Amino acid sequence: MMNELTSKYIVVEGPIGVGKTSLANKLALEWDAELVLENVDDNPFLSKFYKNSRQVSFQTQLYFLLTRTRQVQAFKQRDIFATARVSDFMLQKDRLFAQVTLNNEEYDLYDQLYSYMTVDIPKPDLLIYLQAPADILLKRIKKRGRDFEKYITKDYLEKLNSVYLKFFSTYNGSPLLIVNAEDIDFVNNQKDYSNLLDKIYSVDKGKHYFNPLASIINE
């Protein structure tokens, strides 16, 4: 069981507003693990991107690629087996966002850079994918009130949901737990959190599903 292990790399992923950072924080505390969070707020192009995505889309995406790669490579260079690590992003997410934000010419150039910079990146021992409908994501984004996120549209979130779903439908790089996060509150509801934690402990290999409103299905 995972709570008995001392050398795990766990990644929580999903679209904007789904609860990645909140869950990553709780899991890191649960396991006394190192917390690795992406530096979203530091991107100087992000506010302009949400106002007019075409104007600075390539700059925004390139900045994220550079900073995310730097973060992953930094803890890779340390002893990855020294402690458990919980992160709220996987490096592959950068390519998913690029598919939504860049035009064909920009993406071709971006993809060459991505392929060069992401050689031999570490794979998670467990990947937790949180998903929720776009209207729920938009509601949560508005509730947290980040100024640079006020221009995010439902259409943009639907596109993100689509590329995430396509990616994870064929993902087999590590054990995967897909969580329906639409009606789960693992921050304020201890029962929700405990049920999710029990499910995480039960994941061994392959693809698994956790839906609080339905029976749990395993593949």
Enzyme catalytic residues: 88
Which own/partner contact pairs does 30-35 have at CB distance under 8 Å and 24+ positions apart?
30/3, 30/197, 31/2, 31/3, 31/84, 31/86, 32/84, 33/8, 33/83, 33/84, 33/85, 33/86, 34/75, 34/83, 34/84, 34/85, 34/86, 35/85, 35/86, 35/87
CA–CA distance, 163 with 73 (Å, rounded to integer): 25
CB 42 within 8 A of CB 67: yes
Buried/exposed 56-84: b ≥16 CB within 10 Å, e otherwise = bbbebbbbbbebbbebbeebeeeeeeebb
CB 149 within 8 A of CB 141: yes
**CA distance readout (Å), 23 to 20, 36, 47, 79, 102:** 5, 12, 25, 24, 29
Residue 85 tokens, joined: 């690590």
